[in-house]
Amino acid sequence: MKENRYDYIIVGAGSAGCVLANRLTEDGRSRVLLLETGGSDKSIFIQMPTALSIPMNTKKYAWQFETEPEPYLDNRRMHCPRGKVLGGSSSINGMVYVRGHARDFDEWDAEGATGWDYQHVLPYFKKAETWAFGGDDYRGGSGPLGVNNGNGMKNPLYKAFIRAGADSGYLETEDYNGAQQEGFGAMHMTVKNGRRASTANAYLRPAMNRHNLTVVTHALVHKVLLEDKTATGVRFEQGGKVQEVHAREEVILSAGSIGSPHLLQLSGIGRREVLENAGIEVRHELPGVGENLQDHLEFYFQFRCKQPVSLNRRLDWWNKLKIGVRWILRKDGLGATNHFESCGFIRSKAGVEWPDLQYHFLPAAMRYDGREAFDGDGFQLHVGHNKPKSRGFVHVQSADPTQPPRIRFNYLQHEADREGFRDCVRRTRELISQPAMDEYRGAEIQPGEHIQSDEEIDTFVRQAVESAYHPSCSCRMGTDDKAVVDPRTRVHGLKNLRVVDSSIFPTIPNGNLNAPTIMVAERAADLIRGREPLQPAGVPVVMDEQWQSRQRPGEPERASG
């Protein structure tokens, strides 16, 4: 590198880092260095939406982290891939666009992240987005991120699933990212012109021709450099050569919910006991670093399909080839969608104020690696309890930056989380038994009709549940002694150091995490530049007014509990 001094140094070119790189260089004056451990995102398997399972399971594009044995999941080690490529996890994820419920962000504000309530964050969701059907009070019409519904639910199973929700007494929602999340409707994805709309494509690539942005790939950051209580730069390694670069203004960590706490700890910032056990000198004691780790779990409910309409008949090599060739030539067809084109958000029981269960509907029955689950036609629902109370940690193991941290989520430690998954099983069976699914519904393959009691469901869930790949909250934003960053994203007790990514969420939202991570980076960019935040939206939010006494609008009211 010719230079070693910049205004801002951003660590991690992922969902947040690419946004910051774009926004902090808009003025043409601030010199920004963006460091990324991975490399190019130009692979067809990243850019073609239907190939989403490949980059996530490829070492070249993703950190293949693994948890410690999870004590409440029969000591299973869980897969925890994180993006290691331009675009980060937005280049390897499922492209599902869910902001979360309005109350999720009001919860952040109540937890000490002052100013991050729904009305204040909505303008930043809008700023980031171009919604395929045009902007309005809730949706953006001119942002970098393209959002649409894939192929418009051409497969009849998508709409049958939505009708089944209505048959069950749930609401339909025209836009779960708008005024009303609760209900069943079309699902949205970050795809533009048939290509994955990662933050590398949406934000970074348009900024890479700016003279004041430098992007360095294959750079493993070892630590943040500190002088007393001030961050002055970072030390990183590229091609076997260790270098130091310095920041005039700030160092910003956007390495994700595993990478950011790990890098803080490698730098001597964190809980004293954790650092000393790893042989790292304590430079700044901050006990919340790496704690409060949260994630979403899900399992898939699989059914045989009585009609020859599922995607299972498109999973042979010949049909995959035709889909791929069409996408290469035209950027449309089955190659241009993630296939999750309808969804549902429901409350698990009366007394739950906003949805805590989420459905992704897939008109195929397949395994997580993309292979057929069984011969013949089928469909499946990915379902999970999205407001977990269990908490885990990310702990540095060694001063060697090439050694991964210890990761444990303590999945299903809390009884409320186990109860939530029992609700998932019972609500889903009721849903799929509705008349709308009669012409399609075949035998239940998984969990299997023999799984009925609480004990049987708990055993099945422990063995079958998988991560939804939403690690978050490990550098919590707030003002108490366990918070890592303040509401302006600055690390407590240190100068010129921020964390901006999903690790600073106080609690995990009800939905996928790419959209709120991008929103956080958009708002943080204004805070970093000293700009006044956008004016709060002041829009209504549609809620079930009888949430305390009923689980869904279409059932009789009853006492909560």
97 is in an annotated binding site: no
What is the residue-averaged pLDDT of the chain? Answer: 96
The answer to whether 43 is a known ligand-binding residue is no
Q: Based on C-alpha coordinates, what's the Rg of the chain? A: 23
pLDDT higher than threshold 70 for residue 98: yes
Residue 497: pLDDT band with limits 50, 70, 90: very high
| Structural domains in the chain plus CATH codes | 5-528 (3.50.50.60)
**What distances in angstroms separate CA 322 from CA 49, 325, 534, one per listed residue?**
15, 5, 47
- Which of 438, 57, 487, 35 lies closest to 234 in space, CA to CA? 35
- HSE-CB for 200 with a 13 A CA cutoff: 28
Strands 32-35 and 213-216: parallel
Residue 30 annotated as binding site: yes
Task: Give how far the C-alpha of residue 169 lies from the chain's centroid of Cα atoms, to the nearest Å.
Answer: 29
The neighbouring-strand residues paired with 9 are: 33, 251
The C-alpha atoms of residue 338 and residue 335 are separated, in whole angstroms, by 8
In this predicted model, what pLDDT tens digit does every residue of 229-238 receive, in sequence order?
999 999 999 9
Q: How confident is the model at residue 317 (pLDDT cuts 50, 70, 90)?
A: confident
Note if 222 is an active site residue. Answer: no
Cα 298 to Cα 301: distance, rounded to the nearest angstrom: 10
φ, ψ of residue 285 in degrees (nearest 5): -75, 120
Q: What are phi and psi of 229, to 5 degrees?
A: -110, 30
Please tell me whether 202 is known to bind a ligand: no
Q: What digits encode the pLDDT tens for the residues 263-311?
A: 999 999 999 999 999 999 999 999 999 999 999 999 999 999 999 999 8
pLDDT value for 375: 79
Kindly report whether the global pTM for this prediction surpasses the value 0.85: yes
Strands 466-467 and 297-305 come out as: antiparallel
| Confidence (pLDDT) at 227 | 97
Mean pLDDT of 431-455: 97
Token pair 């939905």 is found at 511
For 186-211, write each residue's pLDDT tens digit: 999 999 999 999 999 999 999 999 99
The catalytic residue among 188, 262, 296, 470 is 470
3-state secondary structure 60-96: CCEEEEECCCECCCCCECCEEEEECECCHHHHCCCCE
Residues 6+ apart with CB under 8 A from 268: 223, 226, 275, 280, 281, 282, 283, 284
In the prediction, which pLDDT does 319 show? 86
Q: Find out whether 191 is annotated in a ligand binding site.
A: no
